[in-house]
Structure 1
Amino acid sequence: MRIIKKLGNAFEFFKGTIAINLAVSILPLLFGGLLLFNYSVVSFGFAISLAVKEINSKKEYLFYFNNGLSKGALWFYSWCFNFILLISGIFIFNLINRLF
């Protein structure tokens, strides 16, 4: 039960970073294609979203720490959610591409 609460809190943190990540990763998509977008989502875009979160929402980390999640754990879980989202997106994109 406790791990589900931790994952739920980590997912809330992830939801706060995904919009910035995708916004930053749009530029590589436009100029470099889908492969560069994929790399950007899990690296550069992710790092920028964490930096923005670090600057704008420093006090949020206290909430997560009180719920048993360190900053490193939040970043790790957020990266894992990011990776799962990317793999799911690739799978759906390929499925749609084959159907049409």
Structure 2
Amino acid sequence: MEKVMRLATEKGVVIFTKSSCCMCYAVNILFQDIGVYPVIHEIDKDPEGKEMEKAITKLGCNAPVPAVFIGGRLVGSTNEVMSLHLRGSLIPLLRPYRF
């Protein structure tokens, strides 16, 4: 869990993904369309990936990937991100991190 939290707080927007996950790709593209370029950590390419996946689940993420952190805080996975976006709440959260 320590590694996940350290990586999650190193930049404003961090997404933990798997390289073959289409929903991870979709969330990343959504953020880029908004003007935010998140730090991506592909846990399937990390030797500690299985432990990281367990830690993300323990933190409360419904699905282990994509796990989106904004400002060091876990926002959630695809459903939570899309719900925030549809309610108009995602862009205000991302405003400080836009280019």
TM-score, scaled relative to structure 1: 0.31
Bigger Cα Rg: 1
Larger helix proportion of the pair = 1
TM-score, scaled relative to structure 2: 0.31
